[in-house]
Amino acid sequence: MNWISIATPDQLQDGEALGVAVDEHRIALFRHEGEFYATDNVCTHAFALLSDGFLEEGCIECPWHQARFDIRTGKALCAPATQDLQTYPVKVDDGQVWVAV
């Protein structure tokens, strides 16, 4: 597991998402109730970037066909997505947000 700095905490307000490319990974970083969470950024249904979606109550809604995922667990909550998202460990340290890939 490799910790990589991908943002500073002040880049995201609560309820916002940021898409970040890390090597071959497309990662979505979310801020919810002061905590940071990271998942794959590409929807498991088709190719849409979840960082362009709508974040509410800890769930991200895909901007294309409105599947919803829990950003804390990656769980797919409704159709048309049936496959969960991969999640990544996140920590805030030394003024940076780090994701383990």
Which residues of the shown chain bind ligand FES in the complex (CB under 6 A)? 43, 45-46, 48, 62, 64-65, 67, 80-81
Nearest-approach distance from CB 3 to ligand FES, in angstroms: 29
What is the secondary structure of 38-86 as a DSSP string? EEESB-SSSS-BGGGSEEETTEEE-TTT--EEETTT--B-STT--SPPP
Nearest-approach distance from CB 18 to ligand FES, in angstroms: 18
Q: How many CA atoms lie within 13 A of 6 on its CB side?
A: 29
Q: Which C-beta is closer to ligand FES: that of 61 or that of 73?
A: 61
Nearest-approach distance from CB 36 to ligand FES, in angstroms: 22
